[in-house]
Amino acid sequence: LYPPVILLGRKTYDYGARRYHLPERCYTRLPVIFIHHDHEIWGQDVHEFNPERFANGICKATKNNQMAFFPFGWGPRICLGQNFANV
Ligand code: HEM
């Protein structure tokens, strides 16, 4: 829940801009650290160190909002070292 990359940057291109009603070539920031600390997703104990919250997988930990957990980013530019880092 405390990833080193706390803001994930993206620049919109035609497809993304149309889909999300954003201007083209617009720089966006996804606030990973805030989403990883949202009480509605993670519960009131979100600030506690509790690895057990992941005991039954990310789906259960995020109450089926698995897109709310992206310490390694997401999509075509997702971290290439994710599996290595997890091992
Ligand atoms: C806990 C460890 C790590 C975390 C939390 C992490 C996180 C991230 C994040 C958030 C990104 C940006 C992804 C995006 O824009 O969607 C990224 C990119 C990247 N990471 Fe990691 N990373 C970790 C370890 C590693 C390791 C060990 C390696 C290599 C051995 C690695 C190689 C890369 C590379 C090459 C990219 C660029 C991928 C691209 O732009 O196509 N990372 N990482």
Distance between Cα 5 and ligand 1 center (Å)? 9
pLDDT in tens, 1-41: 999 999 999 888 776 677 778 888 888 899 999 999 999 99
Of all protein residues, the one whose alpha carbon is nearest to atom 26 of ligand 1 is 81
Give this complex's ipTM. 0.97
Return the bridge partners of 10, or none: 28
Exposure letters 11-50 (e unless 16+ CB within 10 A, then b): ebeeeeeeeeeeeeeeeeebebeebbeeeebbeeeeeeee
- Helix/strand/coil for 40: helix
Distance between Cα 33 and ligand 1 center (Å)? 16
Q: What is the pTM of this model?
A: 0.89
Instruction: Give the separation between CA 35 and CA 67, rounded to whole angstroms.
Output: 10
